[in-house]
Amino acid sequence: MTSTISMGQYLFKRVAELGIEHIFGVPGDFNLTLLDELFKVQELNWLGVCNELNGAYAADGYARIKGMPGILVTTYAVGELSAMNGVAGAYAEHAGMIHVVGMPGRAVQEARLMLHHTMEPGMDQTVYVGMAEPIRKTHTILTDEKTMAQEIDRVIEAGVKSKLPVYIYVPMDVVGIPLDASRLEKPLNTKVVNTNSQMEDEVVKSTLELIKKSSKPSILADVLTIRHGGRELARRLASATQFPTYSTPLSKGVFDETDSKYNGVYNGEVSFPGCADSLESSDLVLNIGFLLSDSNTGGFTRKIPDGNLATTTAKSTTKVSTVFISYHSAFPNPTPGKKVEVHSPLTQLFTYCNKQILLINNQSQTPLLSTSTSGPITQSYIWQRIGRFLRPNDIILTESGTAQFGLTDAVFPASTQLITQTFWSSIGYTVGACLGALVASKEAQKQKQKLSSNSPSSRVILVVGDGSLQMTVQEIGSYIRFNFTPIIFVINNDGYAIERAIHGPGMGYNDISMLWDHQAMLGFLGAREETGIKGRSFACKSVEELEGVLGEEDFAGAGCIQMCEIFMAKLDYPWRLSAQIAVSRKKMAQALALQA
């Protein structure tokens, strides 16, 4: 007799097969029986969050560190809709996510009963399924017992391969349906392979010819290199070729920034002196995995000539003399519609280039923006100082706002991982994402211990502004609840500084409540004597005070959850933020002049 397994357990067994150990979510009456099945799967742990939006942020942050989709479970309508902004951010920035939604039973849906969470009599209860269509790769509604297992596998595989969110909708009455357990013996097919090996060979051959002809080549690796598993391949290619390397704001940390070949963060006109000139004078740019958003290109001011960069979209192609390698595509003199998965071309390029060192590069130096040893804490001082506080293998999260623009100036130690959301830029994102990063980091450390690895554990460091913090602060309570010990820097500059920089520096709409007592925050959320959970808080209004905290061994050791509140002037902004705003205003004025 064929053994069976409940649909719910089948789903979660497949999730566990990916190496995932924790699932984020919020219980609701349409997913409770599904969660019962989750609790029967020993490989998985439930991690309940404060709300669905934060849960989506956490799943996003988890995916960026884990390299596998984060799993989010919500309930019908109110839950899934609350999560949607976080899912959209994961879609925009290619952070994988599997969103599992508990739905009303099939018979109830067919009868169109006026349940809670519906909006009007006779409403089609799948209407919310349609709302999520633009922010997912694919989805399934598990209504057909004959195809449920196949559909679960199909959607999970698509999510892993694409690094985009996918949805699995689970009606209440199908959770316990028996499925063929023997299917679990066949592993999921999550490997991305090229269907056109001839095109792959053409890509590699043409690229190598360009490399041989080049006298001043460079490698610019962008964020989709990281998202789609190409970080190590890009590093190996850089090591083999000894080409000068560059990152972008979103891919900062993709290369070892202490390496002599690394030349900085390329962001068009919003780059350090010398960085842009050096890259833009290259006669060959291997541009890997780029994402050309405004804040990732210095307000669209990249000046890599057509002869140095190949770009392609689904609708148009510019033929040029060099190489563009997208997250799943590589094109020398690109041809529309031809795609090659990135890993194999990079591997072949590495294999060839490793046979000979082609070029030695002199590293451009990052300028020191401030030599302050006393006085007020300024934007020019703080970000490079936090960079010097970092250690190899740290994970640092920087919130949308001044932190996002400022930390670009820092030099990261080797193997630092940055989580930021420069493209989607949802304020408050990092507080939820930090929970996911903490969970993924804990899982990675557990795996290292199994392998008897002596590599140091990763500190997780959150940098968030006072305005962003008020959006999602409750999730810090989850850090405490689950015994995580991040270091939290709260930038107290009296409101939405990035919005003040853009428009209305003195307007009330950029104000926030300044009645919050950040020094009492950790205690209120659970880190206090009577709970037995230790927390430490500091307030720094001068360079001397901050140096005292950063230089303290216990603080740097991150043995308990700690918060350092940093007070800064309300109208002090990072130079990159001011420069990008100036670029945008100039372009807007030019556009208006053309219309006049």
Interatomic CA distance for residues 431 and 429, integer angstroms: 6
The closest alpha carbon to 15, from 54, 43, 53, belongs to 43
Question: Does residue 97 contact residue 60 with C-beta atoms inside 8 Å?
Answer: yes
DSSP states of 150-179: HHHHHHHHHHHHH-S-EEEEEEGGGTT-EE
Residue located via tokens 């007799």: 1
CA distance 463 to 416: 15
The DSSP bridge partners found for residue 463 are: 398, 489
Q: Residue with structure tokens 């630092």? A: 416
CB-CB contact of 332 with 210 (8 Å):
yes
> Is 466 one of the annotated binding-site residues?
yes
Q: Taking a C-beta distance cutoff of 8 angstroms, is the pair 444, 380 a contact?
A: no
Among 328, 341, 347, 240, CA closest to 290: 328
- Three-state SS at 579: helix
Helix-strand-coil percent breakdown of the chain, rounded to 5? 40, 15, 40
Give 422's contacts (C-beta < 8 A, 6+ positions apart). Answer: 249, 250, 293, 295, 296, 400, 404
What phi and psi, each to the nearest 5 degrees, are found at residue 265?
Answer: -95, 115
CA nearest neighbour of 101 among 62, 136, 134: 136
Task: Classify residue 188 as left (phi > 0), alpha (psi -120 to 50) or beta.
Answer: beta
Q: Is 493 annotated as a binding residue?
A: yes
Q: Cα separation of 72 and 520, whole Å?
A: 31
Distance in angstroms (rounded) separating the CA atoms of residues 219 and 276: 13
Six token digits for residue 417: 């991982």
Annotated binding site: 466, 493, 495
Annotated binding site for Mg(2+): 466, 493, 495
